[in-house]
Amino acid sequence: MVAEREFKDVMAEVCTSVAVVTATADGRPHGATVGSLASLSLRPPMVTIALDQHSNLLARIRRSGRFGVNLLGAGQADAARAFASPAADRFAGVPWYPDDGLPRLRHAPGWLVCRTHRFVTGGDHVLLLGLVTRVAGSRTAAPLVHGRRTFGTHSAFTHGTHASLTDRIAAFAR
Protein backbone atom coordinates (compact mmCIF):
# COMPACT_ATOMS: atom_id res chain seq x y z
CA MET A 1 0.00 0.00 0.00
CA VAL A 2 1.23 3.47 -0.87
CA ALA A 3 1.55 5.90 2.01
CA GLU A 4 -0.76 8.93 1.72
CA ARG A 5 2.10 11.39 2.23
CA GLU A 6 4.24 9.73 -0.44
CA PHE A 7 1.31 9.76 -2.89
CA LYS A 8 0.63 13.46 -2.21
CA ASP A 9 4.30 14.35 -2.69
CA VAL A 10 4.51 12.54 -6.03
CA MET A 11 1.22 14.03 -7.28
CA ALA A 12 2.43 17.53 -6.32
CA GLU A 13 4.80 17.19 -9.29
CA VAL A 14 1.83 17.10 -11.69
CA CYS A 15 0.84 20.55 -12.92
CA THR A 16 -2.90 21.14 -13.09
CA SER A 17 -5.11 23.92 -14.34
CA VAL A 18 -6.79 25.95 -11.62
CA ALA A 19 -10.49 26.77 -11.70
CA VAL A 20 -13.16 27.94 -9.29
CA VAL A 21 -16.30 25.83 -9.54
CA THR A 22 -19.48 27.64 -8.50
CA ALA A 23 -23.13 26.94 -7.84
CA THR A 24 -26.12 28.81 -6.52
CA ALA A 25 -28.22 27.39 -3.70
CA ASP A 26 -30.83 29.02 -1.52
CA GLY A 27 -30.23 32.29 -3.37
CA ARG A 28 -26.56 32.42 -2.33
CA PRO A 29 -23.33 31.89 -4.28
CA HIS A 30 -21.04 28.99 -3.40
CA GLY A 31 -17.66 28.04 -4.80
CA ALA A 32 -14.45 26.07 -4.38
CA THR A 33 -11.05 25.94 -6.04
CA VAL A 34 -10.32 22.76 -7.96
CA GLY A 35 -7.21 21.46 -9.65
CA SER A 36 -8.99 18.49 -11.12
CA LEU A 37 -10.63 20.06 -14.16
CA ALA A 38 -10.19 18.16 -17.41
CA SER A 39 -11.77 18.11 -20.82
CA LEU A 40 -13.62 14.81 -21.26
CA SER A 41 -15.45 14.85 -24.58
CA LEU A 42 -15.88 17.00 -27.67
CA ARG A 43 -19.15 15.43 -28.94
CA PRO A 44 -20.96 16.31 -26.76
CA PRO A 45 -18.76 18.90 -25.04
CA MET A 46 -18.07 17.60 -21.53
CA VAL A 47 -15.68 18.26 -18.67
CA THR A 48 -14.86 16.46 -15.44
CA ILE A 49 -14.10 17.83 -11.99
CA ALA A 50 -13.53 16.03 -8.71
CA LEU A 51 -14.89 17.20 -5.37
CA ASP A 52 -14.47 15.72 -1.90
CA GLN A 53 -17.45 13.51 -0.97
CA HIS A 54 -18.08 15.72 2.07
CA SER A 55 -17.91 18.98 0.10
CA ASN A 56 -20.78 21.36 0.76
CA LEU A 57 -20.46 22.50 -2.85
CA LEU A 58 -20.98 18.94 -4.09
CA ALA A 59 -24.25 18.69 -2.14
CA ARG A 60 -25.43 21.97 -3.66
CA ILE A 61 -24.51 20.88 -7.19
CA ARG A 62 -26.37 17.58 -6.67
CA ARG A 63 -29.49 19.55 -5.73
CA SER A 64 -29.30 22.13 -8.52
CA GLY A 65 -27.96 19.88 -11.28
CA ARG A 66 -25.77 22.73 -12.57
CA PHE A 67 -22.37 24.30 -11.97
CA GLY A 68 -20.14 26.99 -13.40
CA VAL A 69 -16.40 26.71 -14.08
CA ASN A 70 -14.28 29.86 -13.83
CA LEU A 71 -10.95 29.19 -15.57
CA LEU A 72 -8.46 31.33 -13.66
CA GLY A 73 -5.71 33.40 -15.23
CA ALA A 74 -2.10 33.83 -14.12
CA GLY A 75 -2.93 36.90 -11.99
CA GLN A 76 -5.64 35.18 -9.95
CA ALA A 77 -3.70 33.17 -7.37
CA ASP A 78 -5.35 35.21 -4.59
CA ALA A 79 -8.81 34.19 -5.85
CA ALA A 80 -7.70 30.56 -5.95
CA ARG A 81 -6.51 30.81 -2.33
CA ALA A 82 -9.75 32.52 -1.25
CA PHE A 83 -11.90 29.73 -2.69
CA ALA A 84 -9.64 27.07 -1.18
CA SER A 85 -9.88 28.62 2.30
CA PRO A 86 -12.29 27.64 5.07
CA ALA A 87 -13.76 31.19 5.05
CA ALA A 88 -17.51 31.36 5.50
CA ASP A 89 -17.84 33.86 2.62
CA ARG A 90 -15.33 32.97 -0.06
CA PHE A 91 -16.81 35.60 -2.39
CA ALA A 92 -15.83 38.50 -0.07
CA GLY A 93 -13.29 40.62 -1.91
CA VAL A 94 -13.60 38.69 -5.19
CA PRO A 95 -15.63 40.55 -7.85
CA TRP A 96 -18.36 38.37 -9.33
CA TYR A 97 -21.77 38.58 -10.93
CA PRO A 98 -24.58 36.16 -11.79
CA ASP A 99 -24.33 34.67 -15.28
CA ASP A 100 -26.91 32.15 -16.42
CA GLY A 101 -27.96 31.80 -12.78
CA LEU A 102 -24.43 30.86 -11.63
CA PRO A 103 -21.69 32.92 -9.92
CA ARG A 104 -19.09 34.07 -12.45
CA LEU A 105 -15.83 35.67 -11.32
CA ARG A 106 -15.39 39.02 -13.04
CA HIS A 107 -11.77 38.66 -14.16
CA ALA A 108 -11.64 34.95 -14.96
CA PRO A 109 -10.52 34.59 -18.60
CA GLY A 110 -12.68 31.51 -19.24
CA TRP A 111 -16.23 30.53 -18.27
CA LEU A 112 -18.16 27.28 -18.69
CA VAL A 113 -21.79 26.64 -17.80
CA CYS A 114 -22.40 22.94 -17.12
CA ARG A 115 -25.31 20.64 -16.46
CA THR A 116 -24.45 17.57 -14.43
CA HIS A 117 -24.50 14.38 -16.47
CA ARG A 118 -23.23 11.78 -14.01
CA PHE A 119 -21.61 11.42 -10.57
CA VAL A 120 -18.94 8.72 -10.21
CA THR A 121 -17.51 7.88 -6.79
CA GLY A 122 -13.77 7.34 -6.67
CA GLY A 123 -12.29 6.81 -3.22
CA ASP A 124 -12.90 9.89 -1.06
CA HIS A 125 -13.92 12.05 -4.03
CA VAL A 126 -16.77 12.19 -6.53
CA LEU A 127 -16.06 12.76 -10.20
CA LEU A 128 -18.64 15.04 -11.80
CA LEU A 129 -19.22 14.63 -15.51
CA GLY A 130 -20.58 17.93 -16.76
CA LEU A 131 -22.26 18.63 -20.07
CA VAL A 132 -21.05 22.07 -21.20
CA THR A 133 -24.02 24.16 -22.32
CA ARG A 134 -22.24 27.50 -22.84
CA VAL A 135 -18.70 28.90 -22.99
CA ALA A 136 -17.54 32.51 -22.76
CA GLY A 137 -14.57 34.61 -21.78
CA SER A 138 -11.66 36.53 -23.18
CA ARG A 139 -9.15 33.67 -23.07
CA THR A 140 -6.40 36.27 -23.49
CA ALA A 141 -4.65 35.78 -20.14
CA ALA A 142 -2.07 33.09 -19.47
CA PRO A 143 -3.64 30.23 -17.52
CA LEU A 144 -3.13 29.79 -13.78
CA VAL A 145 -1.58 26.40 -13.04
CA HIS A 146 -0.58 24.64 -9.82
CA GLY A 147 2.44 22.40 -9.47
CA ARG A 148 4.90 21.62 -6.67
CA ARG A 149 2.40 23.28 -4.31
CA THR A 150 2.94 26.64 -6.02
CA PHE A 151 0.79 28.75 -8.33
CA GLY A 152 2.35 29.77 -11.62
CA THR A 153 1.59 29.76 -15.29
CA HIS A 154 2.39 27.77 -18.36
CA SER A 155 5.50 28.47 -20.39
CA ALA A 156 6.46 27.00 -23.72
CA PHE A 157 8.80 24.05 -23.70
CA THR A 158 12.00 24.94 -25.47
CA HIS A 159 14.10 22.50 -27.39
CA GLY A 160 17.86 22.30 -27.18
CA THR A 161 20.16 23.68 -24.60
CA HIS A 162 20.47 27.24 -23.53
CA ALA A 163 23.76 29.01 -23.13
CA SER A 164 24.66 29.91 -19.60
CA LEU A 165 24.52 33.53 -18.52
CA THR A 166 28.32 33.75 -18.53
CA ASP A 167 28.44 32.32 -22.08
CA ARG A 168 25.87 34.89 -23.22
CA ILE A 169 27.84 37.73 -21.64
CA ALA A 170 31.03 36.46 -23.27
CA ALA A 171 29.28 36.21 -26.66
CA PHE A 172 27.93 39.73 -26.28
CA ALA A 173 31.41 41.06 -25.44
CA ARG A 174 32.90 39.63 -28.65
Indicate whether 156 pLDDT > 90.
Answer: no
Nearest to 135 by CA among 115, 114, 116, 112: 112
Q: What is the mean pLDDT of residues 108-133?
A: 97
Point out the least confidently predicted range of 22-31, 43-52, 99-108, 138-147.
Answer: 138-147
> pTM of the prediction?
0.87
* Per-residue confidence band for 160, with pLDDT thresholds at 50, 70 and 90: low
CA atoms of 76 and 8, how far apart (whole Å):
24
Point out the least confidently predicted range of 105-114, 125-134, 160-169.
Answer: 160-169
CA atoms of 160 and 153, how far apart (whole Å):
21
CA atoms of 74 and 23, how far apart (whole Å):
23
